[in-house]
Amino acid sequence: MVTAQAMDVDPYWLEFWGEADLACHRMKAAEILGDLDAAIQAAREAVAAVNPRFARNHAVYLASHGRVLAVAGHLDEAMEIMGQAILRTAGVDSARIRNDIGRAVDTLAKRDAGPAVRGFVEWARAYPLAGATV
Protein backbone atom coordinates (compact mmCIF):
# COMPACT_ATOMS: atom_id res chain seq x y z
CA MET A 1 0.00 0.00 0.00
CA VAL A 2 1.36 3.45 -0.96
CA THR A 3 1.07 6.03 1.79
CA ALA A 4 0.71 9.78 1.37
CA GLN A 5 4.19 10.17 2.89
CA ALA A 6 5.72 7.76 0.35
CA MET A 7 4.14 9.71 -2.52
CA ASP A 8 5.78 12.95 -1.30
CA VAL A 9 9.27 11.49 -1.61
CA ASP A 10 10.93 12.23 -4.94
CA PRO A 11 12.16 9.18 -6.82
CA TYR A 12 15.89 8.48 -6.81
CA TRP A 13 16.29 9.39 -10.47
CA LEU A 14 15.15 12.98 -9.81
CA GLU A 15 18.21 13.41 -7.63
CA PHE A 16 20.42 11.86 -10.30
CA TRP A 17 19.09 14.11 -13.08
CA GLY A 18 19.44 17.37 -11.20
CA GLU A 19 21.34 20.64 -11.35
CA ALA A 20 24.65 18.97 -12.16
CA ASP A 21 23.27 17.21 -15.21
CA LEU A 22 21.59 20.39 -16.43
CA ALA A 23 24.85 22.32 -15.99
CA CYS A 24 26.68 19.62 -17.96
CA HIS A 25 24.22 20.02 -20.84
CA ARG A 26 24.64 23.81 -20.70
CA MET A 27 28.41 23.28 -20.88
CA LYS A 28 28.06 21.13 -23.99
CA ALA A 29 25.72 23.64 -25.66
CA ALA A 30 27.97 26.60 -24.85
CA GLU A 31 31.00 24.73 -26.19
CA ILE A 32 29.19 23.89 -29.44
CA LEU A 33 28.25 27.57 -29.78
CA GLY A 34 31.88 28.57 -29.21
CA ASP A 35 31.26 30.33 -25.89
CA LEU A 36 34.12 28.79 -23.93
CA ASP A 37 33.72 31.15 -20.96
CA ALA A 38 30.11 29.99 -20.52
CA ALA A 39 31.18 26.37 -21.05
CA ILE A 40 33.83 26.65 -18.34
CA GLN A 41 31.38 28.27 -15.93
CA ALA A 42 28.75 25.59 -16.57
CA ALA A 43 31.36 22.84 -16.13
CA ARG A 44 32.36 24.34 -12.76
CA GLU A 45 28.70 24.38 -11.75
CA ALA A 46 28.27 20.73 -12.77
CA VAL A 47 31.23 19.67 -10.64
CA ALA A 48 30.03 21.74 -7.68
CA ALA A 49 26.44 20.50 -7.89
CA VAL A 50 26.99 16.77 -8.36
CA ASN A 51 25.90 14.63 -5.43
CA PRO A 52 28.95 12.84 -3.90
CA ARG A 53 27.01 9.56 -4.15
CA PHE A 54 27.44 9.72 -7.93
CA ALA A 55 31.21 9.26 -8.10
CA ARG A 56 31.16 8.25 -11.76
CA ASN A 57 29.33 11.40 -12.79
CA HIS A 58 31.69 13.48 -10.69
CA ALA A 59 34.63 12.02 -12.61
CA VAL A 60 32.89 12.63 -15.96
CA TYR A 61 32.09 16.25 -15.03
CA LEU A 62 35.67 16.80 -13.87
CA ALA A 63 37.00 15.39 -17.16
CA SER A 64 34.64 17.59 -19.18
CA HIS A 65 35.66 20.61 -17.13
CA GLY A 66 39.33 19.81 -17.70
CA ARG A 67 38.77 19.38 -21.42
CA VAL A 68 37.01 22.73 -21.92
CA LEU A 69 39.73 24.41 -19.86
CA ALA A 70 42.34 22.85 -22.17
CA VAL A 71 40.43 23.93 -25.28
CA ALA A 72 40.30 27.47 -23.86
CA GLY A 73 44.04 27.42 -23.18
CA HIS A 74 43.87 27.33 -19.36
CA LEU A 75 46.44 24.55 -19.25
CA ASP A 76 47.52 24.65 -15.60
CA GLU A 77 43.94 24.55 -14.35
CA ALA A 78 43.07 21.89 -16.93
CA MET A 79 45.87 19.64 -15.66
CA GLU A 80 44.76 20.14 -12.05
CA ILE A 81 41.13 19.28 -12.82
CA MET A 82 41.98 16.31 -15.06
CA GLY A 83 44.37 14.99 -12.43
CA GLN A 84 41.50 15.02 -9.94
CA ALA A 85 39.29 13.18 -12.44
CA ILE A 86 41.91 10.52 -13.04
CA LEU A 87 42.64 9.96 -9.34
CA ARG A 88 38.92 9.80 -8.45
CA THR A 89 38.44 6.88 -10.80
CA ALA A 90 40.85 4.42 -9.17
CA GLY A 91 39.33 0.97 -9.46
CA VAL A 92 36.40 2.11 -11.63
CA ASP A 93 36.00 0.37 -14.96
CA SER A 94 33.90 2.63 -17.13
CA ALA A 95 34.29 3.01 -20.89
CA ARG A 96 32.47 6.36 -20.73
CA ILE A 97 34.82 7.79 -18.12
CA ARG A 98 37.86 6.33 -19.87
CA ASN A 99 36.72 7.96 -23.12
CA ASP A 100 36.00 11.33 -21.52
CA ILE A 101 39.33 11.44 -19.72
CA GLY A 102 41.14 10.25 -22.85
CA ARG A 103 39.53 13.04 -24.89
CA ALA A 104 40.49 15.58 -22.23
CA VAL A 105 44.11 14.38 -22.13
CA ASP A 106 44.29 14.34 -25.94
CA THR A 107 42.96 17.89 -26.09
CA LEU A 108 45.59 19.00 -23.61
CA ALA A 109 48.34 17.20 -25.52
CA LYS A 110 47.40 19.03 -28.72
CA ARG A 111 47.43 22.44 -27.02
CA ASP A 112 51.02 22.61 -25.87
CA ALA A 113 54.29 20.72 -26.09
CA GLY A 114 55.87 22.29 -22.99
CA PRO A 115 57.57 20.03 -20.43
CA ALA A 116 54.87 20.38 -17.76
CA VAL A 117 52.12 19.44 -20.19
CA ARG A 118 54.15 16.61 -21.73
CA GLY A 119 54.88 15.23 -18.26
CA PHE A 120 51.24 15.39 -17.27
CA VAL A 121 50.09 13.75 -20.51
CA GLU A 122 52.63 10.91 -20.05
CA TRP A 123 51.49 10.40 -16.44
CA ALA A 124 47.80 10.51 -17.41
CA ARG A 125 48.21 8.06 -20.28
CA ALA A 126 50.16 5.67 -18.07
CA TYR A 127 47.37 5.69 -15.50
CA PRO A 128 45.19 2.61 -16.14
CA LEU A 129 41.87 4.38 -16.64
CA ALA A 130 43.16 7.22 -18.78
CA GLY A 131 45.40 5.11 -21.00
CA ALA A 132 42.93 4.92 -23.87
CA THR A 133 42.79 7.90 -26.18
CA VAL A 134 40.45 8.80 -28.97
Lowest mean pLDDT among 13-17, 87-91, 128-132: 128-132
- Structural contact between residues 77 and 65, judged by C-beta atoms closer than 8 angstroms: no
Is the pLDDT at 6 greater than 80? The verdict is no
* pLDDT, tens only, 94-120: 787 888 888 889 998 998 778 999 999
d(CA 61, CA 65): 6
How much is the pTM? 0.81
